[in-house]
């Protein structure tokens, strides 16, 4: 008798019939094994099918992303943020110029994001990308119909307002954009803060073509940045003069053969308690036969822009070291020699090797050298800055934080970065006799600096009253016209011989 349902409780009679039909019913244990094998095979086949499908889906998704990017690009959109790209921006700018009526203006704004790079470097590029998308959306949120946001690349955004009747309308939108970007962004569950500076230029007042208008807006943006976080400013005629002057300097620097017109002058730093010369700062000067004396504030940025600064910086260091040797051979003690190192210079590859070579060639000890570095440079590239500063310090070179108080002036930088010396900027010293706030700030810097075992230098001391007050505030060293102007090595020699320096009588 064949197996019946009763012999195999739990098996459905229908299944048993099917099994018998297929000749699999005898014995059932065997049939069950065959069935299991068949079911297993079916599962494997399903699994293979699923994987084939997955692969096909992944490929399709990739192709669709590429296609979407292509379509966006053709439509003039930035693939990351979906805002207009450079090409579309320029096209809309041309259209706006063509459509502008005599009583209308076209406004172009350059938006500079402060703090983006820090976020990108510290929490990662994918969050940086997310932030750029959010920035694009917020900017779009403050614009009117017909206005355009565009990302020109990196973290550079521009705004185009084709229809403006009064500059105030552009100012209103710039203020709203700044406000929108100052609200916290949420990335990966964390709140992050950035700020923005905006430069505004108007057509046809500031320039009559797209390139000119962009340059004008960019120039205004730099001025806005100088004013501090969260500012916007319009391009003005005096900025034009500056722009022109930059071009002039550039041309003259291109024409200047070698470094014949460059020279160094030296200004002593004096210990406020002993009046002894603590050290010397080497300052770069440029005397052009057409432009006359050009201020380093004007020509150093141009040199940086032209890529000349690595070369010039190396020359400055070598020349300053050579001078230390000359004085030493003449029996004069100059203390530590401080050299200003620019942001761009610090980003040059091979800087450490250059410094090592110069030290070796001139025979000056690393301990006799001090590098003055401004805050802006460490903020721009925190990671590599820390690495470089550590490297210099391990060689024995001292590091000074220059112009403290002019940039972000975050007290946390004092703790985070390995500075030996803090130089309080002249702008604070200028006001100490009239502004009690500045006295309070200097007092706080001194207290904090001393707690961290940093030496505090006051720059730009010009009057005896300032000197007395700084002494009371317990500043360590001072530098300024009250004691000595920057001088040629020959003029400085008698002071070095004396080893001390006293306030000059007021005129
Ligand atoms: Mg300096």
| Residues 191 and 315 occupy one common structural domain | no
pLDDT at 12: 66
Q: How far is the CA of 401 from the centre of ligand 1 (A)?
A: 9
196: domain range?
A: 86-235
Q: How far is the CA of 283 from the centre of ligand 1 (A)?
A: 8
Cβ partners under 8 Å of residue 288, min gap 6: 252, 256, 261, 294
pLDDT at 479: 97
Residue 63 lies in a domain: yes
For residue 106, what is the domain's CATH number? Answer: 3.30.70.270
Q: How far is the CA of 230 from the centre of ligand 1 (A)?
A: 27
Q: How far is the CA of 116 from the centre of ligand 1 (A)?
A: 27
Between CA 478 and CA 306 the distance in angstroms is 34
| Residues 274 and 400 occupy one common structural domain | yes
Q: How far is the CA of 419 from the centre of ligand 1 (A)?
A: 14
| Residues 478 and 336 occupy one common structural domain | yes
| Residues 279 and 360 occupy one common structural domain | yes
- Give bridge partners of residue 232 from the DSSP assignment: 198
The last residue of a domain, from among 171, 204, 235? 235
How many domains does the chain divide into? 3
For the beta carbon of residue 137, count every other beta carbon within 10 angstroms: 14
| Residues 283 and 136 occupy one common structural domain | no
Residue 4 lies in a domain: no
| Residues 195 and 277 occupy one common structural domain | no
Cβ partners under 8 Å of residue 73, min gap 6: 79, 85
For residue 421, what is the domain's CATH number? Answer: 3.20.20.450
Exposure letters 193-213 (e unless 16+ CB within 10 A, then b): ebbbbbbbbbbeebbeebeeb
| Residues 148 and 111 occupy one common structural domain | yes
| Residues 251 and 390 occupy one common structural domain | yes
Residue 78 lies in a domain: no
Residue 165 lies in a domain: yes
| Residues 126 and 164 occupy one common structural domain | yes
The last residue of a domain, from among 208, 235, 262? 235
Between CA 209 and CA 215 the distance in angstroms is 10
The last residue of a domain, from among 26, 43, 72? 72
Cβ partners under 8 Å of residue 18, min gap 6: none
Which two three-digit tokens encode residue 239?
Answer: 């900025």
Residue 81 lies in a domain: no
Q: How far is the CA of 422 from the centre of ligand 1 (A)?
A: 11
Q: How far is the CA of 420 from the centre of ligand 1 (A)?
A: 14
Cα 151 from chain centroid (whole Å)? 18
pLDDT at 300: 85
| Residues 260 and 209 occupy one common structural domain | no
| Residues 291 and 397 occupy one common structural domain | yes
Q: How far is the CA of 367 from the centre of ligand 1 (A)?
A: 18
Write out the chain's pLDDT in tens, 507 residues. Answer: 444 444 555 566 666 676 677 666 555 566 666 666 777 777 788 888 888 888 887 877 777 777 666 666 667 888 889 899 988 999 999 999 999 999 999 999 999 998 787 788 777 888 899 999 999 999 999 999 999 999 987 888 999 999 999 999 999 999 999 999 999 999 888 888 898 999 999 999 998 888 888 888 988 988 888 777 789 999 998 887 677 777 778 777 777 655 568 899 999 999 999 999 999 999 999 887 767 788 888 888 888 877 788 888 999 999 999 999 999 999 999 999 999 998 778 878 889 999 999 999 999 999 999 999 987 766 666 777 888 889 999 999 999 999 887 765 566 677 777 889 999 989 889 989 998 888 998 998 899 889 989 999 999 999 999 999 999 999 999 999 999 999 999 999 999 999 888 888 765
pLDDT at 215: 82
| Residues 438 and 367 occupy one common structural domain | yes
pLDDT at 407: 62
Q: How far is the CA of 285 from the centre of ligand 1 (A)?
A: 13
């Amino acid at each position: 008798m064949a197996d019946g349902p009763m012999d195999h409780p739990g098996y459905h009679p229908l299944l048993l019939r099917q099994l018998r039909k297929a000749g699999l019913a005898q014995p059932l244990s065997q049939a069950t094994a065959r069935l299991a094998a068949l079911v297993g095979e079916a599962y494997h086949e399903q699994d293979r099918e699923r994987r084939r499908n997955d692969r096909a889906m992944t490929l399709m998704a990739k192709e669709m992303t590429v296609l979407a990017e292509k379509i966006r690009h053709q439509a003039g959109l930035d693939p990351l943020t979906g805002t207009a790209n450079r090409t579309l921006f320029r096209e809309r700018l041309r259209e706006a110029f063509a459509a502008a009526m005599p009583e209308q203006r076209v406004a172009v704004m350059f938006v500079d994001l402060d703090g983006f790079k820090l976020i990108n470097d510290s929490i990662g590029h994918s969050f940086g990308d997310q932030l750029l998308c959010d920035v694009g959306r917020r900017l779009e949120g403050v614009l009117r119909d017909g206005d355009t946001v565009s990302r020109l690349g990196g973290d550079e955004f521009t705004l185009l307002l084709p229809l403006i009747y009064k500059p105030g309308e552009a100012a209103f939108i710039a203020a709203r954009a700044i406000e929108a970007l100052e609200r916290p962004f949420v990335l990966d569950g964390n709140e992050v803060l950035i700020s923005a500076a905006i430069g505004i230029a108007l057509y046809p007042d500031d320039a009559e073509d797209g390139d000119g208008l962009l340059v004008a807006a960019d120039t205004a943006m730099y001025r806005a940045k100088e004013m501090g976080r969260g500012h916007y400013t319009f391009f003005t005629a005096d900025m034009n003069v500056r722009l022109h002057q930059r071009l002039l300097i550039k041309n003259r620097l291109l024409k200047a053969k070698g470094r014949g017109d460059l020279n160094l002058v030296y200004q002593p730093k004096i210990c406020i308690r002993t009046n002894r010369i603590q050290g010397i700062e080497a300052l770069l000067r440029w005397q052009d036969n057409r432009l006359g004396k050009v201020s380093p504030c004007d020509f150093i940025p141009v040199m940086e822009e032209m890529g000349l600064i690595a070369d010039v910086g190396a020359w400055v260091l070598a020349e300053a070291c050579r001078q230390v040797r000359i004085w030493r051979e003449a029996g004069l003690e100059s203390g530590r020699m401080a050299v200003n190192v620019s942001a761009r210079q610090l980003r040059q590859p091979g800087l450490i090797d250059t410094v090592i070579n110069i030290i070796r060639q001139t025979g000056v000890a690393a301990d006799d050298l001090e590098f003055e570095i401004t805050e802006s440079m460490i903020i721009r590239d925190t990671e590599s800055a820390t690495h470089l500063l550590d490297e210099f310090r391990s060689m024995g070179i001292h590091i000074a934080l220059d112009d403290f108080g002019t940039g972000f002036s975050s007290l946390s930088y004092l703790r985070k970065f390995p500075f030996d010396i803090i130089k309080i900027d002249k702008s604070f010293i200028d006001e100490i006799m009239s502004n009690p706030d500045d006295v309070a700030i200097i007092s706080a810097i001194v207290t904090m600096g001393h707690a961290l075992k940093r030496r505090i230098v006051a720059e730009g001391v010009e009057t005896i009253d300032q000197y007395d007050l700084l002494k009371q505030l317990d500043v360590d060293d001072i530098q300024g016209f009250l004691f000595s102007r920057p001088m040629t090595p020959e003029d400085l020699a008698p002071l070095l011989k004396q080893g001390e320096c006293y306030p000059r009588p007021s005129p």
